[in-house]
Amino acid sequence: MSSNSRIGLVLFSMYLLFYVGFVAVNAFSPESMEQSVMSGLNLALVYGFGLIIGAVVMSGVYGLISRDSAEPGDVKEA
């Protein structure tokens, strides 16, 4: 397994844990998602946007890390 694959799996696993937490809170304690946590926004909205922003950040991290570890011959020219 290449280092890029390992990095991708680690980042995917981290995101999956955050997402499972979101689903678990919704399934087992839906009333807690209605609680206001920040500037009148409820937990569901803040957590959901956190997941989206986290995915974008993780993809950027993966892009930076995999770019540095790419071999010069890995790029295919069209």
21 falls within a domain: yes
Predicted TM-score (pTM) of the model is 0.76
The pLDDT of residue 57 is 96
Range(s) of the domain holding residue 64: 3-69
The pLDDT of residue 54 is 96
pLDDT, tens digit, 9 for 90 and up, residues 16-53: 999 999 999 999 999 999 999 989 999 999 999 999 99
Q: What is the CA radius of gyration of the chain?
A: 17
pLDDT, tens digit, 9 for 90 and up, residues 59-78: 999 999 888 765 655 555 55
Supply the DSSP string of 34-68, one letter for each residue. Answer: GSEEETTEEHHHHHHHHHHHHHHHHHHHHHHHHHH
Count: domains in the chain: 1
76 falls within a domain: no
